[in-house]
Amino acid sequence: MTDDQRPQSINERTYIVGIGSSAGGLEALRELVKSLPKAINASYVIAQHMSPDHKSMLTELIARETDLSVVDVVDGMPLACNTVHVTPPKTDVLLDNGTLRRTASKSTGISPKPSIDRLLKCLAEQVKDRAVGIILSGTGSDGAYGVQAIREAGGITIAQDEKSAKYDGMPVSAV
């Protein structure tokens, strides 16, 4: 790994981008990461609804589409610039003073995991106007409260166009 590929620590000017998706989200995630710039002051955290019973290949699939570093979230890992952090199945991820924390999902058996709302609300609380929330394809409304919290904190929110989303429930709810 060269010096320019090595993940850099975040700072008080780093934008933290929470990306949420569900059904149909893999295609949207792949397209999104293809277009992410390589050297801006941003860190990305993906919360993709996944089956808790299957091994996720999301990190490997996303890594094929971008030159950014793509890593699975490990509890206690520092958030890094120009890195895509992927939340594993069965857990939620929160930000705690620049450190990613994996935590047991608070949701019931039928609720989506990981929780996009929980991630985005945490980003709004922790980094305020440096929080960015992106909602991609999916059913249901997970993420809608999270993007509201980010907007109220002065951050930026983006929802996939409902016409391009394989499932438009989450993007429409976010809007």
Residues involved in catalysis: 22, 49, 142
24-38 burial code (b ≥16 CB/10 A, e <16): bbbebbeebbeebee
Token pair recorded at residue 58:
């999301």
Which residues, in sequence order, are bridge partners of residue 78? 99
Distances in Å between the Cα of 27 and the Cα atoms of 8, 90, 95, 154 are 28, 21, 26, 29
Q: Kindly state the helix (H) or strand (E) to which residue 123 belongs, with its residue range.
A: helix 116-127
The single-letter code of the amino acid at 26 is L
